[in-house]
Amino acid sequence: MVWQMLIKSFQQNQNICKKVNMVLFIRRFRDKSSSFMRHYQFIFILMFFFTLMLSCSMAAQSWDFIKEKDGIKIYTCKEAGKSLKFYKGVTDINAPAEKIFALMEDVNNTDWWDENLTQIKVLLYEKYKRAQYYLVYDLPWPVTDRDLCVDVTITIDPVTDERKITAVSLPGVIPERNDMVRIKDYRQTWTIIPVDKEMTHVVLEGFVDPAGSIPDWISNMLIIDSPYKAISGVKERMEKK
């Protein structure tokens, strides 16, 4: 009888211990969940304020409308601490986005590029991914010719089908020449946005420091034509009947 009472008491104590452990486990789980939620909310708030600050920064560098010609709008803007201007060209082209992208991505089809380019050497090419070029610009006397190495990357949004072709200056690939001035600060991005099957919105943004002895005010004056000529070349090819 005593043994039975002891066994019964032991079983009751075990059940009590299980219940206590279960309560402690639930409390620990709730504490961890609460801590995780607080951590997640903190990260979300940081991301929100970072996005807000970035948006305000971009808005502060507003684009100034310069001109419109042949349906191509040209803008410029200045970045804090720089005297040279950024440029932007915007237009709509009556052609599918895939066709425009194929023209820009084709390393063997560069006759629509800048007419001052006298040498285009392909250093690397990965289809639909990246490319590297060496470029030589023949400039009118008395301005010294320029050369430039660029690294090009391609991104394609699988949802919107928006395509970006971004080029930046690439140092240390080709030795500098004594008879030329090397362009070392160059950035340019083509953005190709499908509007519908036969219409595409195209944006070209960029910045270039020609280096050498060219005054900034002359560079800022000449840079207006750069996006117009580039976009015009693409538009003429795509809309040619």
pLDDT tens for 54-67 read: 344 444 468 999 99
Residues of the chain with pLDDT under 50: 1-11, 13, 16-17, 20, 23, 29, 33, 36, 39-40, 42-60
Whose structure tokens read 């948006």? Answer: 55
Give the pLDDT of residue 46: 41
Alpha helices in the chain (DSSP H): 2-60, 97-105, 216-222, 225-239
CATH number for the domain running over 64-239: 3.30.530.20
Distances (CA, A) of 71 to 17, 74, 147: 80, 10, 31
Give the pLDDT of residue 26: 55
Give the pLDDT of residue 110: 83
Strand partners, 56: none
Give the pLDDT of residue 79: 78
pLDDT tens for 8-45 read: 444 454 554 455 455 455 566 455 545 545 544 544 44
Tell me if the bond preceding 227 is cis, omega within 30° of 0. no
What is the C-alpha radius of gyration for the chain, rounded to an integer number of angstroms? 30
Give the pLDDT of residue 6: 33
CA 80 to centroid of chain Cα atoms:
20
Per domain, the residue ranges of the chain are 1-60, 64-239
